[in-house]
Amino acid sequence: MKTLSLFGATGSIGQSTLKLVDEHPDQFSVSVMSAHSNYEKLAQLAKEYQPDLVVIADSQYERALAACLLGTSIRVTSGADALCEAARIPVDCVVAGIVGFAGLMPVRAAVQAGQIIALANKETLVVAGHLIMPLAATSGATLLPVDSEHNAIAQCLVGARDEDINKVVLTASGGPFRDLSRTQMHHATKEQALLHPNWLMGQKITIDSATMMNKGLELIEAAWLFGLGSDRLDALIHPQSIVHGMVSYCDGSWLAHMGPADMRVPLSHALGYPRRLAWQAERLDLVQIARLDFQSVCHEQFPCFGMAKSVIGTDPADAVTLNAANEVAVSHFLSGKIPFGKIAEQVDTILSQKRLGSANGFDDILSLDQEVRKLARSVI
Ligand code: NAD
Ligand code: MG
């Protein structure tokens, strides 16, 4: 029986994780569950999965959550520090499924505690890869990538030496606007942008997929995970989303990972680690799929992709800036304050300004993130 701590239990990654738990009640038990503010859903999940502890990030809902769980033995806590404390509780696997910058500090706490972490939250490595990777090396923590491309690549890299690797290639579906020009997508509605062709995910990552910022963030994530510079990293649009990642080796071999577009595939790899976890996965029918297409990403069409790629190898403060500017712009788009096309423009405006701080330590990153958010909110 493996014990799990599930951060972001109410989200898309949380739900996919729980579906795998449902298939294997004899193999997994959930010790900790967290959510941001949806206390009703968290309480309902807690009653079903009986964790020892639930944490609601927004403290104003702690009482309501506790009231829902009255009469159970489930402990209730709230707030940012409580999340970090929960991340340090020893378990067999910490699933990091919080979205955005908010995922950083709980992941840091889990890394400090030397845990095995199924890392879905890509923003952690985007903003703090330069601190998290060495911290994991010292504490003995294991980072198992859950982002499908990185999970795919990690599988293709087993046994590889650095000098063997020519290139690591992530695939991208191209999102809902793959075939539109920048002008055509400028006034795309929220509904259109949220209509991802291949994956069902949370809102933030779905918008990032439509701008292709997601693929840019993933290149940064890959740079830290696999220790590669941008010269050995690339992304290709692959509309079928069957191949998730590829590695080109010095001897002419390419290893590619294929699978259905279902996050339970990479999640099961991380949950089962170091073994493979059998589950009722859709079987790929390659005859029916018949063809796999690839095309390069057009930087003019998707400027967010190029902006993110350009911060690989520069001062880490740039990635913090890019990430915060993007989180604010995406939330402004989702709340109807700016048109779709403005997301890229706003990130560009903020990224071209003088750096607002450094990213030398976690405290620097937290305050830089705040400064950039302040500026980004004033830009609209
Ligand atoms: P989501 O919006 O569906 O869920 C986010 C979860 O985080 C929710 O449980 C929410 O309550 C919690 N949360 C939100 N804000 C928080 C805060 N301030 N403090 C604490 N908790 C907070 O998001 P998702 O699609 O599940 O994505 C989660 C992460 O996984 C993201 O970083 C995303 O990039 C990554 N990821 C997701 C997918 C996917 O298929 N959904 C695929 C690859 C990577
Ligand atoms: Mg991905």
201 and 271 fall within a common domain: yes
Pick the closest to residue 203 from 331, 308, 323 (CA basis).
331
Measure the CA–CA gap between 247 and 12, rounded to whole angstroms: 28
Distance 68 CA to ligand 2 centre (A): 35
What domain range is 67 assigned to? 2-145
Q: Are residues 59 and 168 in the same domain?
A: no
Are 134 and 242 members of one domain? no
Burial 135-153 (b: 16+ CB within 10 A, else e): bbeeeebbbbbbbbbbbbb
- What does the pLDDT read at residue 82? 98
Of 288, 313, 338, the last residue of a domain is 313
Cα atoms found within 13 Å of the Cα of residue 21, Cβ hemisphere only: 24
Q: Cα of 120 to ligand 1 centre, how many Å? A: 8
Q: Which ligand does the CA of 219 lie closest to? A: 2
Residues 77, 49 share a domain: yes
Q: CB within 8 A of 47, min separation 6: which ones?
A: 69, 72
The pLDDT value given to residue 200: 87
According to the model, what pLDDT value does residue 380 have?
73
Give ligand 1 pocket residues (Cβ under 6 A): 8-14, 35-36, 38, 57, 97-99, 102-103, 120-123, 147, 199, 201-205, 263
Residue 89 lies in a domain: yes
C-alpha 10 to ligand 1 mean position (Å):
9
pLDDT given for residue 349 in this prediction:
97
- What is the reported pLDDT for 196? 87
Pairwise CA distance, residues 76 & 54, whole Å: 5
Query: At which of 91, 124, 145 does a domain end?
Result: 145
Q: Average pLDDT in the 319-328 region? A: 98
Write the pLDDT tens digit of every residue in 209-244: 999 999 999 999 999 999 999 999 999 999 999 999
Say which ligand is closest to the CA of 218.
2
3-state secondary structure of 286: helix
Same domain, 187 and 268: yes
For residue range 251-266, what is the model confidence (pLDDT) as tens digits?
Answer: 999 999 999 999 999 9
d(CA 79, CA 241): 37
Last residue of some domain: 261, 282, 313? 313
Cα(199) to centroid of ligand 2, in Å? 10
How many separate domains does the chain show? 2
How far is it, in rounded angstroms, from Cα 93 to Cα 104? 17
Considering the domain architecture, whether residues 116 and 160 belong to the same structural domain is answered as no
Q: Give the model confidence (pLDDT) of 49-69 as tens digits.
A: 999 999 999 999 999 999 999
Q: What is the CB-side half-sphere exposure of residue 351 using CA atoms within 13 A?
A: 26
152-208 per-position pLDDT tens digit? 999 999 999 999 999 999 999 999 999 999 999 999 999 999 998 888 899 999 999
Q: What's the rounded mean pLDDT across residues 10-23?
A: 98
Mutation probe of ligand 1 site: the residue of 144, 171, 205, 262 with most atoms within 8 A of C-beta? 205
Q: Are residues 62 and 186 in the same domain?
A: no
- Ligand showing the shortest atom-to-Cα distance for residue 123: 1
The CA 181 to ligand 2 mean position distance, Å, reads: 23
The protein residue with its alpha carbon nearest to ligand 1, atom 2, reads 202
Q: Is residue 373 part of a domain?
A: no
Residue 182 sits in the same domain as residue 307? yes
Q: Are residues 168 and 305 in the same domain?
A: yes
Please compute the mean of the pLDDT values over residues 298-320 and round it to a whole number: 98
Domain CATH code at residue 57:
3.40.50.720
Give the pLDDT of residue 178.
97
331-367 confidence digits (pLDDT tens): 999 999 999 999 999 999 999 999 999 999 999 999 9
